[in-house]
Structures are given as structure tokens and as C-alpha cells.
Amino acid sequence: MNIDLNTLTFGLGILALTTTQGLTATWSDSSDKGLALYENGKPSSGQLKLVCDPENLWGDNTSLQSPQFYLMVTINNQPISNDTLAVQTDHGYSGTFRAEGGSVLAMSNKRGWNKLIAALSAPGRVMVKAGKRQFTLNVTNPADLRCKLHG
């Protein structure tokens, strides 16, 4: 088998660029039973899913905000199994969150959660790391993620 060195070099360069720059990704949104659902990325390579209750439909007490605000992360078709999740963006955001059962619960850190939502709403690169597993998304569209906590 003969492999052209120029073709191999070009192919490796494209692979390195894709890995460094991240996958081009856009936020999609939907709703289910009153919950706002947002997805970005692909489960096979890296995906973020937000589940939020902006209308407080699932709150136990109408005077308290609903606890139904989650960020779920999937890498290689598997939910994260680490107890921490780190998120960085190319516009200066950096945060680390406690994760349980493959997701981050917003109520454990309201201020940090709101900063995370603001960072994820902006276009740019988002780097996500859980233990030794990581991925990068190149978010191309600004998003109206209705997931901020009040109070």
C-alpha cells in the first residue's frame, strides 16, 4: 500500500484543526411538559443538554423557584461519570461544578450557574472537561437560554 506523504500530512492537519477548533455546533430548543430543553453537540463526540423550568411549573411552592434546572453532559455516547465538570470559553469564562449522576444541578451554585448560562449563550468555543474526557464545541449562534435562576 502506497500512501502519499502530502495527502497524509494534509489529512493529519485537518484532523488536528478539527480537534483544536472543536465541532461546529448550534443550540436547538424544544419543550416537554413545560420544561425548556436545549441541546448542543452530538452524543457521540460531546453534547450539552440543558433542562430548565423558566415558568416554575414544576416548583413545589409557587413562592420558590423550581429545582428543575440541570446541565447534562454526554461524551462518547455516555453520560459523564466524574464528580466534577469544568467548562471554559474562549471569551474568558471558566467554571467548575459538582456533578451527580451525569449532570450538574443548578441549585447547588446559583451565582455560578447564572454565569455559566450567560457564557453558554454567547457564540464561541466551549471546552468541556470531565476527568480525562473532554470535548470542544464551536458555538456559532447566540442563544436565548431561558435558564437563569432568580433570587
Strands of the sheet with 23-25, listed across from one edge: 23-25, 133-139, 124-130, 84-89, 94-98
pLDDT > 90 in the chain, percent: 47
**Per-residue pLDDT, 101:** 83
For the cut 50, the answer to whether the pLDDT of residue 22 exceeds it is yes
Dihedral pair phi/psi, residue 49, rounded to 5°: -130, 130
Q: What is the mean pLDDT of residues 45-73?
A: 80
Q: Among 42, 97, 95, 27, which residue's Cα sits nearest to residue 69?
A: 97
Q: Among 97, 35, 109, 104, which residue's Cα sits nearest to residue 66?
A: 35
Distance CA 10, CA 102 (A): 37
**More confident site: 59 or 29:** 29
State the pLDDT confidence band at 149, using cuts at 50, 70 and 90.
confident
**Per-residue pLDDT, 14:** 37
Where are the chain's structural domains? 23-139
Q: What is the mean pLDDT of the chain?
A: 81
